Amino acid sequence: MRINSLARSLLQAQRRTFSSSPRRLDRYGFIGLGQMGYQMAKNLQAKLPPSDSIRIFDLNADAVQRLAEEMKASTAGGAVVEIAKSVNEAASDSDTVITCLPEPSHVKGVFSQILTPDLPKKDRIYIDCSTIDPSSSRQVAEQVASAGQGQFVDAPMSGGVVGARAGTLTFMLGAPDSLVSKLEPILLRMGKAVHHCGPQGTGLSAKLANNYLLALNNIATAEAMNLGIRWGLDPKTLANIINVSTGRCWPSEVNNPVKGVIETAPASRDYSGGFGISLMKKDLKLAIIAADEAGAKLELGGRAREVYEEAEKAENCKGKDFSVIYRFIGGKE
């Protein structure tokens, strides 16, 4: 009995020692504080424990300072906030570096500044949330691996600025299986879902394939709505029929391009907000480039790209949500 009692006491002591052992501190770097990155970094910082730290950087020094002040003033607490003076400094001591940048050239430029000889050797994870072409992403991944500085994965997202602010983004992850369990908790601090698409580069492939289809569906919906309205159909009646029939799609059901059909859609507020037409033009261009590299034939992509390029230049469409294509084709408003 005495031996059993002694054994229990030793086990309890071991459990107390284990439970009170300090948690490893994690350091994060976040580079790129545009409309998406700003909100993503804010959510990440707020949901990290106070023992962690996050170092932020953007070329826009005012945005960096404003975000740092908002983070520090938050009653939610969160990770310790630091301001980096360069991308290299943002990555230097970090275990995880997150980038959210506009174009492939920006991603390549940032990593050429990060991967310098003076960067301390460390098994970092680089999570790139930018929407770029898979080929460029793989080039950067190879550079990171060759430099012995960790692993680079792609995690583009959908959900827009509204989703970034609310923390409801969906991430499409391209990464080795072995990293998924480590990456998911990080991404879920900025979103609500993570879909592992396969090895590095496949997250971007999935994102661009989806957005290619979205770009075409948007034009087709605008044309179909305009056609039906000019034939005398009521816009809501037509939309209701499409949405219970085989023409149903996201642009017809959620982002309908005709004012008043969906009160929450950008069309009902003069196409303001939403997914900008310039962003759709960019994603369509990237999808076409990637398709060409893969030898995939696109019958409609070239003409769709011309439509978005022309619409983006039109004064009454510039800076609007991509559903403004309805206005561009002369849809009745």
Instruction: Report the pLDDT averaged over residues 74-80.
Output: 86
Question: Is the alpha carbon torsion for 155, 159, 162, 167 positive or negative?
Answer: negative
Residues with a catalytic annotation lie at 207
* Alpha-carbon span 110 to 248, nearest angstrom: 41
* Alpha-carbon span 171 to 156, nearest angstrom: 6
Return the structure tokens found at 275: 């997914």
Task: List, by residue range, all CATH 1.10.1040.10 domains of the chain.
Answer: 206-328
Average of per-residue pLDDT values in the chain: 92
Strand boundaries in the chain, DSSP class E: 27-31, 53-57, 80-83, 96-99, 124-128, 150-154, 157-158, 169-174, 191-198
The helix/strand/coil state of 331 is coil
Return the structure tokens found at 104: 């492939």
How do beta strands 53-57 and 27-31 pair? parallel
pLDDT number for residue 25: 78
Q: Look at residue 285 and tell me whether its pLDDT is greater than 80.
A: yes
Confidence of residue 210 (pLDDT cuts 50, 70, 90): very high
Q: Look at residue 3 and tell me whether its pLDDT is greater than 70.
A: no
pLDDT number for residue 189: 98
The type of residue at 288 is: I
CA distances from 298 to 65, 206, 216, 274 (A): 45, 16, 11, 26
Instruction: Report the pLDDT averaged over residues 121-137.
Output: 96
Instruction: Report the pLDDT averaged over residues 185-200.
Output: 98
Confidence of residue 116 (pLDDT cuts 50, 70, 90): very high
Q: Look at residue 7 and tell me whether its pLDDT is greater than 50.
A: no
Confidence of residue 162 (pLDDT cuts 50, 70, 90): confident
Instruction: Report the pLDDT averaged over residues 184-204.
Output: 98
**Residue in 237, 216, 215, 219 with CA at minimum distance from that of residue 228:** 237
Residue with tokens 């630091």: 82
Q: Look at residue 286 and tell me whether its pLDDT is greater than 80.
A: yes
pLDDT digits (tens, 9 = 90+) for 309-322: 999 999 999 999 99
Instruction: Report the pLDDT averaged over residues 267-280.
Output: 94
CATH number for the domain formed by residue range(s) 20-200? 3.40.50.720
pLDDT number for residue 282: 96
pLDDT number for residue 160: 87
The DSSP-derived string for 204-243 is HHHHHHHHHHHHHHHHHHHHHHHHHHHTT--HHHHHHHHH
pLDDT number for residue 75: 76
The DSSP-derived string for 56-109 is EE-S-HHHHHHHHHHHHH-TT--SEEEE-SSHHHHHHT-SEEEE--SSHHHHHH
pLDDT number for residue 14: 39
Stretch among 118-122, 125-129, 207-211, 248-252 having the lowest mean pLDDT? 118-122
Return the structure tokens found at 25: 């501190």
In this structure, which CATH number among 1.10.1040.10, 3.40.50.300, 1.10.1740.10, 1.20.5.50 belongs to the domain 206-328?
A: 1.10.1040.10
pLDDT number for residue 5: 47
pLDDT number for residue 173: 98
Confidence of residue 24 (pLDDT cuts 50, 70, 90): low
pLDDT number for residue 17: 36
pLDDT digits (tens, 9 = 90+) for 217-263: 999 999 999 999 999 999 999 999 999 999 999 999 999 999 999 99
CA distances from 165 to 168, 192, 216, 241 (A): 8, 12, 27, 33
pLDDT number for residue 10: 41
Task: List, by residue range, all CATH 3.40.50.720 domains of the chain.
Answer: 20-200
**Residue in 239, 246, 286 with CA at minimum distance from that of residue 260:** 239
Confidence of residue 170 (pLDDT cuts 50, 70, 90): very high
| Percent of the chain scoring above 90 in pLDDT | 88
Residues 55/84, Cβ–Cβ less than 8 Å: yes
Confidence of residue 161 (pLDDT cuts 50, 70, 90): confident
Q: Look at residue 70 and tell me whether its pLDDT is greater than 80.
A: yes
